[in-house]
């Protein structure tokens, strides 16, 4: 029986994506988890299913119960600027691991999926027509750290399924001029371990109704604070999302001052920074809660 389950798991470790500009399939093991779970044991697959409507109205089937016999906690770690790591049972995602943040080698940072919200080169940057996301290649000129070269790279809007993680990229911008001043941005929603996590990258404007519709309902929002968005609009954006957990990502010339203003606007009087946010679908708070993360190394 265990051999049968392991065989199913090996067969299911595929990488499939459907970006706005095309489709492709890549088969291969997960670089961070391989054919087993985060605890080194083969997960026990459960069979009850529940229907859910996808973010763009497409039907998807997701397990109504946890995919593994043991329910763990997804961990979110902030690595500086807009770079974060999400580590769960279903896979590991690293967002915005630019070489300017993670270093040329990545210092041991690995993941199944690496996403990039914007170009690292000077803005404005306009993606060429027909650019397609591909393994280890970027349509926005991003060169990932060497430790992330085996990760599945996503830097464009679209819907993707990689190592049992669903990723939705939504076109946004780094300014109020539809990218005319600072270039385009992609906000990503990761459906990982039953949680919907939104990473807004370096967004520079409020979300439109169409963008909100594509993003859908999320429990966790990773929001830039101190960049072109501004403190007041960051608070307004968070209010519109209705996320239960809000994680600010201080950026810009005066990141700590911007963080302080954001916390004041959010009525957070005594913030206690933590090394990482550990959360599961059963521990999500009922009311909006701001979590301040300490910047961590790449271990």
- CB neighbour list of residue 233: distance below 8 Å, 6 or more residues apart: 205, 206
The partner residues of 274 in beta bridges, in order of sequence, read: 293
pLDDT at 214: 97
Q: What separation in angstroms does the CA of 284 have from each of 17, 78, 207, 241? A: 29, 19, 24, 15
Q: What is the DSSP string of 59-105?
A: EEEEESS-SSSS---EEEEEEETTEEEEE-SS-EEEE---HHHH-SS
Q: Are 164 and 170 in contact (CB under 8 A)?
A: no
Task: Inform me whether the pLDDT recorded for 18 exceeds 70.
Answer: no
pLDDT at 53: 37
pLDDT at 11: 31
pLDDT at 55: 53
% of the chain with per-residue pLDDT over 90 = 66
pLDDT at 141: 80
pLDDT at 68: 36
The 8-class DSSP code of residue 169 comes to E
pLDDT at 72: 75
Q: What separation in angstroms does the CA of 214 have from each of 56, 68, 82? A: 6, 29, 21
pLDDT for 222-241, tens place per residue?
999 999 999 999 999 999 99
Give the count of beta carbons closer than 10 Å to the beta carbon of residue 239.
12
CA distance 251 to 225: 6
pLDDT for 94-124, tens place per residue?
999 999 999 999 999 999 999 999 998 654 4
204-231 in b/e burial notation, b at 16+ Cβ within 10 A? bbebeeeebebbbebbbbbbbbbbbbbb
The mean of the pLDDT values for the chain is: 78
CA distance 158 to 168: 6
pLDDT at 134: 39
- Give the lowest-confidence range in 16-20, 168-172, 257-261: 16-20
Task: Inform me whether the pLDDT recorded for 132 exceeds 80.
Answer: no
All domains of the chain, ordered by start, with CATH?
Answer: 72-290 (3.60.15.10)
Q: How does residue 190 score in pLDDT terms, banded at 50, 70 and 90?
A: very high
Is the previous residue joined to 124 through a cis bond, with omega within 30 degrees of 0? yes
pLDDT at 64: 35
- Give the lowest-confidence range in 35-44, 129-138, 155-164: 35-44
Q: Are 190 and 49 in contact (CB under 8 A)?
A: no
More confident residue, 5 or 220: 220
CA distance 288 to 291: 10
CA distance 111 to 144: 12
pLDDT for 44-99, tens place per residue?
222 222 223 345 443 333 433 333 334 479 999 999 999 999 999 999 999 999 99
More confident residue, 123 or 255: 255
pTM value?
0.76
Sign of CA dihedral 61, 160, 211, 204: positive
End-to-end, the C-alpha distance of the chain in Å comes to 36
């Amino acid at each position: 029986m265990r051999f049968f389950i392991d065989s199913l798991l090996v067969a299911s470790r595929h990488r499939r994506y459907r970006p706005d500009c095309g489709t492709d399939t890549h088969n291969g093991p997960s670089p961070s988890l391989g054919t087993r779970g985060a605890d080194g044991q083969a997960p026990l697959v459960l069979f009850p299913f529940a229907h859910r409507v996808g973010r763009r109205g497409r039907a998807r089937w997701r397990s109504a119960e946890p995919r593994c016999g043991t329910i763990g906690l997804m961990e979110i770690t902030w690595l500086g600027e807009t770079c974060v790591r999400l580590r769960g049972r279903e896979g590991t995602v690293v967002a915005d691991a630019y070489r300017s943040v993670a270093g040329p080698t990545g210092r041991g940072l690995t993941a199944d999926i690496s996403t990039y919200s914007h170009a690292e080169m000077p803005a404005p940057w306009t993606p060429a027509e027909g650019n397609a996301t591909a393994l280890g290649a970027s349509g926005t000129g991003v060169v990932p750290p060497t430790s992330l070269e085996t990760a599945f790279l996503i830097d464009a809007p679209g819907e993707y399924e990689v190592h049992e993680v669903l990723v939705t990229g939504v076109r946004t911008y780094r300014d109020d001029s539809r990218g005319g001043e600072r270039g385009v941005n992609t906000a990503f929603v990761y459906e990982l371990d039953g949680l919907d996590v939104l990473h807004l990258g370096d967004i520079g404007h409020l979300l439109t109704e169409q963008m909100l519709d594509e993003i859908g309902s999320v429990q966790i929002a990773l929001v830039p604070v101190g960049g072109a968005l501004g403190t007041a609009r960051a608070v307004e954006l968070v209010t519109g999302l209705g996320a239960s957990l809000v994680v600010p990502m201080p950026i810009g010339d005066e990141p700590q001052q911007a963080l302080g203003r954001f916390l004041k606007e959010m009525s957070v009087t005594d913030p206690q920074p933590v090394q990482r946010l550990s959360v599961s679908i059963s521990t999500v708070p009922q009311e909006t809660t701001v979590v301040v993360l300490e910047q961590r190394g790449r271990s």
